[in-house]
């Protein structure tokens, strides 16, 4: 298959598994399958191989056997065609060419990476911003830190903004209580804007055990059709009031912070400034990197295979799904919340996927254009450095990431990026 410029994009590789090796896999699958079937005259799991084949056919083993054989055949294809490791665009499609007791032949339909014709990729004229931090940002971050150490103290006076009140409440529309409008011993910080506009303001000035009817109107854009723009009455009772006491800037507070080198307000300001500046610098670097790669991609000419984009969409989806799992949620539950299906959801990632693929392709082409080389010492040093960083044995690290060839590739990419972003 060719792209519109006539450049070869796909190639078929036929890989064969001979009878002896194929027979071992069929036997392995049979050992599992025999535990799932029942044959008269034999106890479950004790059916001999020839009796199993006679009753269920050798073909009943094929599907699982092919699944077992594919990884080995895939590795064999790469061993016989070493150029494929970094020239394949994505995981190949697979078809069975022939299958019998005598062996297995698999066809790997390999999509090759497209030809990339670079435009300008050096001295792009993109200006990198300078990270600066204002006094207002420093003060805001320090106040945010103080919030972590706030103390709540019982208060006997009137409710003020910033206080935390414990209330009972119930909402009524046309004299009837509405769903979701009732709460008991509910804690609410005045000024948090947790409730609809006007509710929290109406509590200001109330005292403990005081009861009050609050007349309000729900916003026109409220999520409940029943309550959009509705006039309601909330019956409220204040059970308790607590005031928020922020810590003083004293020795105890600086000790509680447990921040290296922070012993007073001035050192705290310096620490916070460096933290904000570091965060901003990272954001600026990311933005600059993206602008440079975007410019190089726009200048380049390439015909990106749809298979590459689809595989990248799957990768992004898996990354998203993994992040959800860290929050105790799975992708199916998330999709139900959004009232959408997986295909529609994945379609949203397509522009980002195409961008990532193009970035990767132009970087690899810069490696070729600049004839970037990485020597064995660089790879060895990098391997030791990364293993130490992740706290694992070097051999284990190399096994996890796919060997030194992938480290070499990573270093080549890094050198290419340095050229692009210089």
Specify the residue for token string 């029943």: 226
Contact 365, 412 (CB under 8 A): no
| Residues near 75 by beta carbon (within 8 Å), at least 6 away in sequence | none
Contact 97, 107 (CB under 8 A): yes
pLDDT along the chain (422 residues), means of 10: 52 96 96 91 90 94 96 94 87 95 96 94 93 96 91 92 95 94 94 93 96 95 90 97 92 92 94 96 96 96 94 96 92 91 95 96 96 95 93 91 90 96 92
**DSSP assigned state of 220:** T
| Residues 210/213/219/222 CA torsion (nearest 10 deg) | 80
**DSSP assigned state of 5:** T
Question: Minimal CA–CA distance to 126: which of 290, 277, 279?
Answer: 290
| Residues near 194 by beta carbon (within 8 Å), at least 6 away in sequence | 188, 200
Which ranges of 300-330 would DSSP assign to H, the alpha helix? Answer: 306-326
Question: Minimal CA–CA distance to 56: which of 75, 30, 31?
Answer: 30
Buried b (16+ CB within 10 A) or exposed e, 237-260: bbeebbbeeebeeeeebbeebeee
Contact 39, 131 (CB under 8 A): no
pLDDT of amino acid 98: 96
Q: At what angle do helices 350-369 and 306-326 cross, to 10 degrees?
A: 120
pLDDT of amino acid 41: 87
Contact 164, 264 (CB under 8 A): no
Ramachandran area for residue 260 (φ above 0: left; ψ -120 to 50: alpha; else beta): beta
State how far the Cα of 135 lies from the Cα of 123, in Å rounded to an integer. 35
Residue ranges of E strands in 322-411:
none
CA 411 to chain centre: 24
State how far the Cα of 108 lies from the Cα of 146, in Å rounded to an integer. 61
Residues comprising the chain, all counted:
422
Specify the residue for token string 């103390």: 151
């Amino acid at each position: 298959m060719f792209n519109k410029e006539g450049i070869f994009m796909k190639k078929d590789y036929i890989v064969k598994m001979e009878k002896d090796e194929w027979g071992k896999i069929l036997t392995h699958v049979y050992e599992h399958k025999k535990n799932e079937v029942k044959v008269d005259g034999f106890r479950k799991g004790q059916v001999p191989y020839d009796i199993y084949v006679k009753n269920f056919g050798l073909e009943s083993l094929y599907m699982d056997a092919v699944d077992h054989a594919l990884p080995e055949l895939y590795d064999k294809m790469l061993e016989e065609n070493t150029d494929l490791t970094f020239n394949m665009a994505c995981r190949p499609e697979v078809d069975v060419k022939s299958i019998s007791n005598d062996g297995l032949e698999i066809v790997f339909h390999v999509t090759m990476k497209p030809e990339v014709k670079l435009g300008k990729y050096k001295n792009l004229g993109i200006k990198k911003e300078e990270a600066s931090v204002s006094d207002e940002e420093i003060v805001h971050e320090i106040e945010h830190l103080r919030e972590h150490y706030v103390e709540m103290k019982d208060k006997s006076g009137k409710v003020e903004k910033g206080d935390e009140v414990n209330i009972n409440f119930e909402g009524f529309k046309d004299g009837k209580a509405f769903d979701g409008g009732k709460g008991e011993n509910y804690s609410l910080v005045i000024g948090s804007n947790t409730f609809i506009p006007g509710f929290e303001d109406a509590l200001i000035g109330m005292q403990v055990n005081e009861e009050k009817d609050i007349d309000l109107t729900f916003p026109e854009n409220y999520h409940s059709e029943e309550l959009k723009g509705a006039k309601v009455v909330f019956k409220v009772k204040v059970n308790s009031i607590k005031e928020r006491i922020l810590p003083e800037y004293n020795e105890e507070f600086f000790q509680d912070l447990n921040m290296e080198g922070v012993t007073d307000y001035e050192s705290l300001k310096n620490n916070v400034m460096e933290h904000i500046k570091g965060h901003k610098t990272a954001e600026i670097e990311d933005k600059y990197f993206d602008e440079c790669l975007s410019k190089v991609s726009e200048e380049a000419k390439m015909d990106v295979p749809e298979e590459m984009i689809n595989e990248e969409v799957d990768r992004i989806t898996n990354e998203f799904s993994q992040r959800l799992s860290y929050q105790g949620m799975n992708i199916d539950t998330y999709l139900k919340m959004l009232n959408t299906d997986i295909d529609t959801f994945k379609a949203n990632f397509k522009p980002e996927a195409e961008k990532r693929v193009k970035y990767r392709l132009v970087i690899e082409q810069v490696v070729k254009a600049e004839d970037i080389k990485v020597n064995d010492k660089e790879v060895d040093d990098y391997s030791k450095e990364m293993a130490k960083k992740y706290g694992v044995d070097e051999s284990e690290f190399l096994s996890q990431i796919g060997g030194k060839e992938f480290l070499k590739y990573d270093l080549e990419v890094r050198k290419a990026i340095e050229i692009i972003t210089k």
